[in-house]
């Protein structure tokens, strides 16, 4: 029972750490975007291209990927999902082994 509680604690601690990093990434994104906007408008007004928009767009895309990983992918593909997949694969392997054993037994009987 204690091992199960420890696993639950470790999972909760890992999820909190992931969410903390995501929030930090969001704050960094907002502050970085503001800094890029200010730098473009006040420091480099002679350049017509909107280079800062490209950087912000790429950064936003990376943030969205990070968000999807934390709140969608990791939510469904957690330890329970891993255990279910392992159990399913082990069951399939056992069935294949049993089939091979029965096939070998049948071949030995025929000979």
Are residues 69 and 17 part of one domain? yes
- The parent domain of residue 96 ranges over 78-111
- The answer to pTM > 0.85 is no
Per-residue confidence (pLDDT) for residue 44, from 0 to 100: 60
Q: 30 with 78: CB under 8 angstroms?
A: no
> What sign results for the dihedral spanned by CA atoms 6, 19, 61, 28?
negative
Are residues 19 and 37 part of one domain? yes
Give 28's pLDDT tier (boundaries 50, 70, 90): very high
Q: In sequence order, which residues have a C-beta less than 8 Å from that of residue 92 and are 6 or more positions away? A: none
Look at residue 66 and tell me whether its pLDDT is greater than 90.
yes
DSSP state of 40: I
Look at residue 10 and tell me whether its pLDDT is greater than 80.
yes
Per-residue confidence (pLDDT) for residue 1, from 0 to 100: 64
Angle at 104 between CA 87 and CA 93, to 5 degrees: 10
Query: Domains in the chain: how many in total?
Result: 2
């Amino acid at each position: 029972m204690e091992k199960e509680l420890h696993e639950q604690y470790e999972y909760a601690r890992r999820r909190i750490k992931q969410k903390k990093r995501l929030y930090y990434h969001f704050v960094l994104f907002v502050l970085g975007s503001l800094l890029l906007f200010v730098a473009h408008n006040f420091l480099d007004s002679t350049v017509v291209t909107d280079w800062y928009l490209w950087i912000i767009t790429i950064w936003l895309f990376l943030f969205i990927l990070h968000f999807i990983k934390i709140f969608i992918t990791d939510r469904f593909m957690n330890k329970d999902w891993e255990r279910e997949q392992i159990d399913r694969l082990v069951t399939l392997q056992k069935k294949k082994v049993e089939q091979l054993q029965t096939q070998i037994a049948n071949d030995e009987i025929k000979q």
